[in-house]
Amino acid sequence: MWIADNWKDYEVIDTSRGEKLERWGKYILLRPDPQVIWNTPREVKEWKALNGHYHRSSKGGGEWEFFDLPNEWSIHYKSLTFHLKPFSFKHTGLFPEQAVNWDWFSEIIQNAHRPVKVLNLFAYTGGATLAAAKAGAAVTHVDASKGMVSWAKENAAASGLAQAPIRYLVDDCVKFVERELRRGNTYDGIIMDPPSYGRGPKGEIWKIEDSIYPFLELTARLLSKDALFFLINSYTTGLQPAVLTYLLNTVVVKGHGGKVISSEIGLPVTQNGLILPCGASGRWIRE
């Protein structure tokens, strides 16, 4: 398992009864997590010192309950700064487990010793975008949500990357890739974090089981002849590491050589030293 264990401003303090107890900077949040199927004693003091608690509804969705939590605050990862705010569906605007991937491709970019172009699809609030830009890449950031793209720009400015070579686009990722192919553009690194289900800005439907393979085939055609890496993340039940390995071997290795390694990604739990699984990632690199 690949573990995001370099955080100082974030930690999973404990897990129990379907919930994870987290520290985001100086604030303590309690959020549901479907992986937490164990019922262990809630002994650490933070269980009774919450700043926010997201309550899952039996009818789907849920709502936040706040206890002295600001509308927005910031945390840091190395030299990057992220603005956080609790919003619908329990999220805060950041997936801390992805830091293990940021570190991986940042090293590849830095060691390339040449200009590197990176495409970040389904780019959300820009964690991967900022990491790649900080490492020296020129990044194209694509997401269908105008609000998420604006949030990514705020994070870039907070991280001292307002003038970095980042191109932000509010667009349907499939249609964007199709246009890039027609333009003849290529990229040295591609990152994608596809949702299980979603809609584009014009109502385009994305269902990962039906869409991921043809989209991967399409996107792989954007890799440059001396491309460096391809990263695909999955939070979808059923898209396990072995599936990601199979996809990348079938599509990317077939056309570009190299090798694929996939694994679960996770976060350390302070209370017991165990690892909380947080999805899976597949990585292609040129050997």
Helix (H, G, I), strand (E, B) or coil at 287: coil
Listing DSSP states for 65-134 in one string gives: EESS--S-EEEEETTEEEEE---STT--S--GGGHHHHHHHHHHHHHH-S--EEEEES-TTSHHHHHHHH
pLDDT at 60: 77
The pLDDT score that the predictor gives to residue 59 is 78
Q: Report the mean per-residue pLDDT for the chain.
A: 95
Which residues are registered as beta bridge partners of 20? Answer: 15, 31
For the chain, residues classed under CATH 3.40.50.150 are: 96-285
Identify the CA nearest to 251 among candidates 287, 228, 223. Answer: 223
Q: State the average pLDDT over residues 93-106.
A: 98
Q: Return the pLDDT at 58.
A: 78
pLDDT at 203 over 80: no
Exposed/middle/buried for 115, CB within 10 Å: 0-12, 13-18, 19+?
A: exposed
DSSP state of 148: H
Q: Which helix (H) or strand (E) holds 198?
A: strand 197-199
For residue 89, the model assigns a pLDDT of 82
Report the CATH superfamily, name and number, of domain 2-84: Golgi alpha-mannosidase II (2.60.40.1180)
> Where is average pLDDT lowest: 43-52, 102-111, 198-207?
198-207
* The overall pTM is greater than 0.85: yes
- pLDDT of residue 4 exceeding 80, the answer is yes
Give percent of the chain above pLDDT 70: 99
pLDDT digits (tens, 9 = 90+) for 30-87: 999 999 999 999 999 999 999 999 998 877 789 999 999 999 999 999 999 999 999 8
CA-based nearest residue to 223, from 182, 183, 181, 194: 181
- pLDDT value at residue 272: 96
Percent of the chain residues past pLDDT 90, beyond the cut: 87
Ranges in the chain annotated CATH 2.60.40.1180: 2-84
pLDDT in tens, 127-166: 999 999 999 999 999 999 999 999 999 999 999 999 999 9
CATH of 96-285, one of 3.40.50.150, 1.10.150.120, 2.60.40.10, 3.50.50.60: 3.40.50.150
